[in-house]
Amino acid sequence: MAQTVIEKITQAHALDLARGAELHAGDFVTLVPDHVMTHDNTSAVLQKFEKLGVGKVHDVRQPVFALDHDIQNRSDANLAKYAKIEAFARAQDIDFYPAGTGIGHQVMIENGYIQPGGFCVASDSHSNMYGAVGAVGTPVVRTDAACLWATGRFWWQIPRTVKVVLQGELRTGVTGKDVILTPAASTTATRCSTPRSSSRGRAWPG
């Protein structure tokens, strides 16, 4: 059976596959992602990492810290949190982008961490945007991120791929966000990778 691009990229990053094995949607697999991005929640991930008792990040090239969520908060508490994140990054020799650099996912793409054919995760629900450059991006929770720091790997179930074709023109008042949220709300799109194409013909419902 032919593989989708998601399956091919996943296979290229998978561990412990039997010789000749071919991965497909629904399979559970252990992966080594290229990078794991965390933002302000690096502080929460760090707390979980410290409880693991590991001490040293497994592969310091994997994590990327990009502070971008609460940068307008100049309170002593928030500045102290940011300082602790930066200190940990320096101590572990991890790439660190301070508040004001930009949105974390854009930082990842603009600085070359995300490459076509790559597999990257982030402790943020918007990490699937890495598909825009031909990579696989998927979110992980904070515990997963901490374990990634400690081991360099995580497990994942390969999603189905559903093609979505949009036809026609947008009605007045309909935005790009509406276009993505409408099919995403469909149960068909749950746990799927959704390549999209568009063509002219009939009006997209508003």
* pLDDT, tens digit, 9 for 90 and up, residues 159-171: 998 888 888 888 9
Q: Which helix (H) or strand (E) holds 160?
A: strand 160-161
Instruction: Report helix, strand and coil shares of the chain as percent, to nearest 5.
Output: 35, 20, 45
Give dist(CA 45, CA 148) in Å, integer.
10
Give dist(CA 67, CA 63) in Å, integer.
13
3-state secondary structure of 95: strand
CATH topology of domain 5-157: Aconitase; domain 3 (3.30.499)
Q: Does residue 203 contact residue 168 with C-beta atoms inside 8 Å? A: yes
- Would you state the pLDDT for residue 200? 44
pTM of the shown model: 0.85
Determine the length of the chain. Answer: 206
- Would you state the pLDDT for residue 176? 86
What residue spans define the domains of the chain? 5-157, 162-199
Whole-Å CA distances, 49 to 34, 102, 120:
19, 25, 19
Q: Does residue 148 contact residue 154 with C-beta atoms inside 8 Å? A: yes
- Would you state the pLDDT for residue 165? 85
The list of the chain residues with pLDDT below 70 reads: 187-206
- Would you state the pLDDT for residue 189? 56
- Would you state the pLDDT for residue 206? 39
